[in-house]
A = this chain, B = another copy of it.
């Protein structure tokens, strides 16, 4: 922050945050109709301006190819015709969701005569920090608009031209609907110092939602002075209990591990009760081998599955995001809960059991954002839970846990309806 350039950047980011704070009042006041109008206008503009969006995206892609970005990153960076259409559809879908802002709950009349309850209100200004995925620009902006927040978007620098083009459409939609154009702003620089400044602006930014790799999140945890709704990693577990239905266990493990390898709700560790492991683990192992999934197991697992590699301590904490699974034979429910509460990332864990008491204890005692009985961990998702959309999955405990939808972008204030009451 000592060079002249950084001082200028510092001032620019601070001003942007102040503008966001000012715009947040208008966003919070907006009627449901205005917000939906803005979203439907945005969807229309995305479709109308598809050629311009593709042209902007092509600039990013050309630069990215020249810089030698790897294929997976290029893929995420690409705005195809299909991608643009699904971006528009996503925005329209958010317009159909109920408006969380202003809803009043829990009104009670107190002995003093006042009525006390809670009103749902926007958080204020939300900063979204994400990687080079331009579709997130429209998606995150739409969620924040619907929840009445002002937004500062900071996408990966490789997507700057694409993000700039999408953000211009968002601002046009806001202005055409009578909302403050600065309700959504995009940080229009590739200077990496911008994020470092943004995460210190506690007065003008209410929450930061980082969406990205573990490296980014870990850096932000260390440096951010603004509260965050964040997702660190998804080291999810399935525990197959003594009283599990073997067919159900086989089906759930298969789905939880192999339906998709790269998602945060994919199971990375399997725990299985000793009493059932002898008969069931070989069947599970055969299924996994058949799917090309490498097993890293404890000594008992290796005895039952000769092709299993030995698991190290590191395997119990690793989110593989790959055709790899850690397997441990445990004595029963107590050891399973203890193992999960020690090693899991508190994302999603499932038990397979027909024992009522064990199911209830697992639900109560496992300290993760989603805890499931007889279902695949892959269900941990805002759409599957019925939120209609999600800004991310929180592995924090404060404010919002698990899939975060519109409600997670709001807070509740207390309201008091009186008739002239004074306190004695």
Contacts and interface: CB of A to CB of B under 8 A. Distances in A.
A251 B251 CA distance: 68
A369 B414 contact: yes
Contact of A252 (B29, B364, B384, B422): B422
Interface in A361-417: 363-365, 367-376, 378-380, 384-386, 396-399, 401-403, 411-417
Contacts of A419: 374-375
Interface stretch (A89-97, A109-117, A186-194): A109-117
A341 interface: yes
A398 B119 contact: no
A423 to B, nearest CB: 4
Interface in A249-270: 251-252, 254-256, 259
A373 B252 contact: no
Nearest to A417: B373
A413 B402 contact: yes
A374 B110 contact: no
A102 interface: yes
Q: Chain A binding site: helix, strand, loop or mixed by DSSP?
A: mixed
Interface string A241-255: 000010010011011
A183 interface: no
A255 to B, nearest CB: 4
Contacts of A206: 397-398
This chain: copies in complex: 2
B251 A378 contact: no
Interface in A162-208: 202, 206-207
Contact of A123 (B110, B378, B398, B416): B398
A245 B415 contact: no
Interface residues of A, number: 67
B119 A376 contact: no
A17 to B, nearest CB: 16
A415 B123 contact: no
A102 B364 contact: yes
A259 B424 CA distance: 8
Contact of A411 (B108, B259, B401): B401
Interface string A322-354: 000000000000000000010000000010000
22 contacts: A28-B365, A28-B367, A110-B384, A112-B379, A123-B397, A245-B420, A254-B422, A259-B422, A259-B423, A350-B416, A363-B415, A370-B415, A370-B416, A372-B415, A373-B417, A373-B418, A374-B417, A374-B420, A375-B419, A375-B420, A376-B418, A380-B416
Given A114-B372, A252-B420, 14 more contacts: A29-B364, A102-B364, A112-B379, A114-B384, A116-B386, A202-B221, A245-B420, A372-B417, A376-B423, A378-B422, A378-B423, A380-B416, A385-B414, A402-B414
Interface of A: 25, 28-29, 102, 108, 110, 112, 114, 116, 119, 121, 123-124, 202, 206-207, 221, 227, 245, 248, 251-252, 254-256, 259, 341, 350, 363-365, 367-376, 378-380, 384-386, 396-399, 401-403, 411-423
